[in-house]
Amino acid sequence: MVQIPFQEIYPKVDQALISQVRKKTIGQYTTYYNSRNKNRSHNIMLASKAINNYVVLPGEIFSFNKVVGKRTKEKGYLQAPVIVRGELSEGIGGGICQVSSTLFNAVDKAGLHIVQRYSHSRDVAYVRPGRDATVSWYGPDFVFQNKYAYPIMIRAGSSNGSMYVSVHSFPEIEYEPRHVPSVHQSTPEEGPASPPILTEPTMP
């Protein structure tokens, strides 16, 4: 009889940690979109679900592309407006950059360490100028690190033309919040913008 060696693998997050990491909000941000654009709204909802309840342990790196994964038809992503070479076009997963941009503003507000962020070459409609974080499966990523001594949890969701991201942690956490300007409550169409330009990552 052949004995196969095995190793027990324990989850990095248990219920005791979850109950504590939800207790204190250290950052939050809301953006708005045109809910009449059904495909784009659907894509925003899917990407929001992908990052919702995600826990980042102390010192751990969060990669938007790694956590959300490739945006494909098989995963339910739909055709929606995207920017290709400065022109509006249709592509699978249009609207994803609004999720990554909302996440960026929430984690920046929480004082987390921004490792990698790229902006579009022109302003977008859903955040203030220079406050976007464009992502692409074969291109730019949005990456941050939990520099604190406690885990943090990302909560995200979307409905009725608005999406939010909030960042939570233990009640005992000592954090260094940053000022982040909010956006006006509105329902913008995705405005024209140029494709992302790959510049040096933005550091805090």
Please indicate, yes or no, if residue 183 is contained in any of the structural domains.
Answer: no
* Range(s) of the domain holding residue 44: 21-169
Please indicate, yes or no, if residue 179 is contained in any of the structural domains.
Answer: no
**Is-contact 149 84, C-beta < 8 A?**
no
The set of residues, in sequence order, having a beta carbon less than 8 Å from that of 85 and lying 6+ positions away, is 195
In single-letter form, the type of residue at position 124 comes to: V
Please indicate, yes or no, if residue 180 is contained in any of the structural domains.
Answer: no
Please indicate, yes or no, if residue 177 is contained in any of the structural domains.
Answer: no
- Give Dmax (Cα) for the chain: 69
Distance of CA 155 to the CA centre of its chain: 10
Please indicate, yes or no, if residue 198 is contained in any of the structural domains.
Answer: no
Please indicate, yes or no, if residue 156 is contained in any of the structural domains.
Answer: yes
pTM higher than 0.75: yes
The domain tally of the chain equals 1
**Is-contact 101 133, C-beta < 8 A?**
yes
Q: What is the DSSP letter of 110?
A: T
Nearest to 56 by CA among 158, 134, 167, 164: 167
Continuous segment of H or E residues that includes residue 190? none
Q: Output b/e per residue, 130-168; b: 16+ Cβ within 10 A.
A: ebbbbbbeeebbbbbbbebebbbbbbbebeebbbbbbbb
Q: What six digits make up the tokens of 172?
A: 């005992």
What string of pLDDT tens digits covers the 204 residues of the chain? 556 665 544 456 667 777 788 889 999 999 999 999 999 999 999 999 999 999 999 999 999 999 999 999 999 999 786 655 555 556 677 789 999 999 999 999 999 999 999 997 778 889 999 999 999 988 899 999 999 999 999 999 999 999 999 999 999 999 999 999 999 876 565 543 334 434 344 443
The set of residues, in sequence order, having a beta carbon less than 8 Å from that of 15 and lying 6+ positions away, is none
Please indicate, yes or no, if residue 142 is contained in any of the structural domains.
Answer: yes
Start-to-end CA distance of the chain, whole Å, equals 58
Please indicate, yes or no, if residue 196 is contained in any of the structural domains.
Answer: no
